[in-house]
Amino acid sequence: MKLTKLFFLFAIGIMIASCGSKDEVPPTINITSPEDNITITAGDTIMLSAIIADDEELASITITDGMTPTSITTFDSPTSHTISYIITVPADSPAGTLTLTITATDGEENSASAERVINVTEMLVGCQPETSCVNAEMTTIVVTTPDDTPEDATIEMVGSFNGWPGELDSDYILTKNGPNCYCIGVKIDADSEFKFRRDGSWDKVEKDAAGGEIDNRVFTYSAGEVVNITVEKWADL
């Protein structure tokens, strides 16, 4: 009788101990990259890396990147997993913030989350001005040239403001800042007439898309303004 009673008490003790030791500790999440509050441009790719661990057993990991949630249920080991997840921000994303969230849940449904906030700027389309071309006291002119423009071409702005020179004027040579993309900061009189040409030659002056003559351009811009101009064709190409 005493033995039965002792066994009964022992069994109850084990049950109480078992109930009292329920896992209430959530998983830990250590995001190693990217850093918080970095700035990227729409269309860029970033790597989300993290180490997730639990003292007992991992059950699931969910990655939310503002687009499609990704669930992970297969781990490096029952208690830990390392994430290396590539995220490409859509090229048409507007400027704003993107929150990357990792949520980990263990076998007892304890969960934890960690996040990184990414600042997204809009993708710039077409020619953009080089920093050296931008000045609040000048007009920044950004010129897109035809695809057949030679890589080593010297693009020049000429006009009534400098006497329509017969040779290259080094003061009005544009800065190349990308394929078929040039810029210059100018401070000239309003209503000045101008054109663009290559290599200081009137035989290489700009034309319309069909190769015909174009009217002189007229300077009607203000200081601090960024103006985009497209050269359709060169006379000799």
Q: Are strands 226-230 and 139-144 parallel, antiparallel or unpaired?
A: parallel
Candidates 107, 56, 65; CA nearest to 83 is: 65
Are residue 97 and residue 176 in the same domain, yes or no?
A: no
The model's pLDDT over 39-94, given as tens digits with 9 standing for 90+, comes to 888 888 889 999 999 999 999 999 998 778 999 999 999 999 999 988 888 877 88
| Residue 6 clears pLDDT 50, i.e. is over it | no
- Of 78, 97, 121, which residue is a domain's last? 121
Do 149 and 56 lie in one domain? The reply is no
Instruction: Give the rounded distance of the alpha carbon of 50 from its chain centre.
Output: 21
- Looking at the domain assignment, is residue 14 inside a domain? no
- Give the CATH number, domain containing residue 157: 2.60.40.10
Q: Which domain holds residue 45?
A: 24-121
Q: Give per-residue pLDDT as tens, 213-228.
A: 999 999 999 888 989 9
Indicate whether 106 and 141 sit together in one domain.
no
Report the domain count for the chain. 2
**Per-residue CA distances from 52 to 58, 63, 105, 226 (Å):** 9, 12, 10, 49
pTM over 0.85: no
Give CA–CA dist 199/24, Å, rounded.
75
Q: In this structure, is residue 99 part of a structural domain?
A: yes
Same domain, 29 and 92: yes
Question: In this structure, are 108 and 169 located in the same domain?
Answer: no
Give the C-alpha distances (Å, rounded to integers) separating 97 from 41, 119, 120, 152, 216.
Answer: 11, 5, 6, 40, 45
